[in-house]
Amino acid sequence: MKTIRMIGAAFVGLGLAAGASAQGTDPISDTAAVYATYQSDVTDVKDKPLSSAGDIDHALTSLGGHNPDQLSKGWIAYSALIASQNPEYRAAVHDIESFYGRDALESGMRNDVRYARTLSGGDNAVSSALTATEADSRRLNSAAAYVKEQAYSLQASGWAKAKIGNSGAKARGLNLSQSAGIPAKLGLVTAMNATDFDSVLVQAGSTGAPSLWDNVSGAASAIKFPAAVTSGLTGNRKRVKFGKEPVADQIATLAAYRVLGASTEQNSSQINSAMTERETKGCLNMANLNLQQCVAAANQQYEVPFCIGEHALSDVGKCIGGVYQ
């Protein structure tokens, strides 16, 4: 296992950082940490069976309480971080910057959303991001199956058969959480801004690599990422699904800004525009609405895990997984 080492007192342990927010040095990494926070909570649910009504409520809030706009932007940002590691693409971005100047390059990206992906290595860079997305989508489907199975096994537990006092209030509370969103965890913001995090991103985009988040947990005392990918991994190169080219274009554009080292002050509106993707946000919003309705209709505690698995996990996996083929 490889641990991304923190600098100074910031590395206190993820448990102490849960729920905290922080501003790192890179706005793209900071936004990606929201997606990382969701995935770290997925790990917690996968690693520990639900053993009380409190466990169910915590899983419901942590997995189902994310704001769809923030989570969608987080996934796009994470995808861009991976795409930005492609050597050919990085070289092309720097070559254009050196020859024509940074202003000309940024003007091209502002005026044509497809421009960045047409640069040398652009398609391969996006393919790496989609490879990581596929691994994440599989992981969410696996977690969903595990949680939904508990909706059946918990029927044998007395506490799980207890009536929910006010499921409507529980659903309304969930709506409030989704409106506000869940801030990125401090430990993840710090880790994703670390100088050696790029080597981890390269691994995450490798064909056949497991999901980066399998070893990232909100309950861990350290943030651990997979060790270096071995050469024996196999898998198919992921392509953009027909009709999803605009998402790929945005990933490539955001990746180019990451390569350039664009700051918040200089490019805030362009970076935010590249992160904002209507279809994924709409899909995640529908997942949230379905989760609220499912919870509102639940009568007993054991019914809620099904809602979590179906809408806070499986639906999210489908939303991000609908981009590749």
Tell me which DSSP letter residue 59 carries.
H
- Look at the block and give the residue holding tokens 């990422």: 225
Three-state DSSP string of 126-158: HHHHHHHHHHHHHHHHHHHHHHHHHHHHHHHCC
H-helix or E-strand containing 3? Answer: strand 2-3
Tell me which DSSP letter residue 212 carries.
G
| pLDDT given for residue 158 in this prediction | 92
Q: At what angle do helices 87-100 and 102-111 cross, to 10 degrees?
A: 110
Enumerate residues 6+ apart whose C-beta is below 8 A from 166. none
CA–CA distance, 324 with 170 (Å, rounded to integer): 35
| pLDDT given for residue 185 in this prediction | 93
| pLDDT given for residue 196 in this prediction | 87
Counting beta carbons within 10 angstroms of the beta carbon of residue 23, is it exposed (0 to 12), middle (13 to 18) or buried (19 or more)?
exposed
Tell me which DSSP letter residue 163 carries.
B
- The pair of structure tokens assigned to 224 is 């651990």
Helix locations, 157-244, DSSP H: 167-180, 186-192, 197-204
Nearest to 92, CA basis, from 100, 196, 127: 100
Q: Walk along the chain (325 residues) and give the pLDDT tens digit of each residue.
A: 333 332 222 222 333 333 333 445 789 999 999 999 999 999 999 988 999 999 999 999 999 999 999 999 999 999 999 999 999 999 999 999 999 999 999 999 999 999 999 999 999 999 999 999 999 999 999 999 999 999 999 998 999 999 998 999 999 999 999 999 999 999 999 999 988 899 899 988 988 889 999 888 766 555 667 655 544 455 567 788 888 899 999 999 999 999 998 654 567 888 999 999 999 999 999 999 999 999 999 999 999 999 999 999 999 999 999 888 7
